[in-house]
Amino acid sequence: MARAALSPDAVVGLALRIVDEEGPDALTLAAVAGRAGVATPSLYKHVRNLAELRALVSERVMGELTEIASEAVLGRSGDEALRALMDGWRSYAARHPHRYSALIQAPRPETAEAGERLVGVILAALRAYGLEGSAAIHAVRCLRAAMHGFAVLESAGAFQLAEDLGESYALLAHMVVSGLRTPREP
């Protein structure tokens, strides 16, 4: 890539290629500069530092997840929407395990807007269950924990028993959906 073609978006694209090929730990400014064919200081015109680049990568991944989630729930509601959301999330993490692991999990100002869009899609998928306010937020947290936990464990190869992972995930989805349909005891 020629120096003139560099932009923050192009730098993030190069960073994602490194993450995809080598994992998030391989992401350094020197690695991105090497891919771009420029000296590392040339990147400072486009990103302040490695922390900002990691945040921009995470923001892009959240945007991709939001797009997947939006497409999954479009035209669906209730159990069907929730299962499609869960399947889309799992599929994304399986196709892009390094990108998925590059997500910054703790809320940060740099990723707040992307995170809000993703949470908005999840809230929309949960709307059919009549959840509002705090109850909806608790459900989003539980759903995210279930989807994220399974995705991280699956991509790490942590499920070593012979049983089919698809069946395990179907059971997880059933448990989540059933739990949302069952009124909670006070």
Instruction: Tell whether 61 and 40 lie within a shared domain.
Output: no
Domain of 17: which CATH number?
1.10.10.60
Longest dimension (CA), the chain: 62
Instruction: Tell whether 39 and 105 lie within a shared domain.
Output: no
Total domains in the chain come to 2
Does residue 95 lie within any of the structural domains? yes
Q: Which domain holds residue 29?
A: 1-47
Token pair in block for residue 92: 């994304």
Does residue 142 lie within any of the structural domains? yes
151 in Cβ contact with 93 (< 8 Å) = yes
Token pair in block for residue 114: 């992307």
pLDDT score, position 112: 86
Q: Report the Cα–Cα distance between both ends of the chain, in Å, rounded.
A: 59
pTM: 0.89
Place of tokens 């391989």: 26
pLDDT score, position 174: 96
pLDDT in tens, 130-155: 998 999 999 999 999 999 999 999 99
3-state secondary structure 80-91: HHHHHHHHHHHH
pLDDT score, position 186: 59
Instruction: Tell whether 142 and 96 lie within a shared domain.
Output: yes
Instruction: Tell whether 69 and 158 lie within a shared domain.
Output: yes
Instruction: Tell whether 92 and 117 lie within a shared domain.
Output: yes
- Residue 183, sorted as left (phi over 0), alpha (psi -120 to 50) or beta, turns out to be beta
Within 10 A of 156 (CB to CB), how many other CB atoms are there? 10
Nearest to 15 by CA among 62, 60, 48: 60
Percent over 90 (pLDDT), the chain: 85
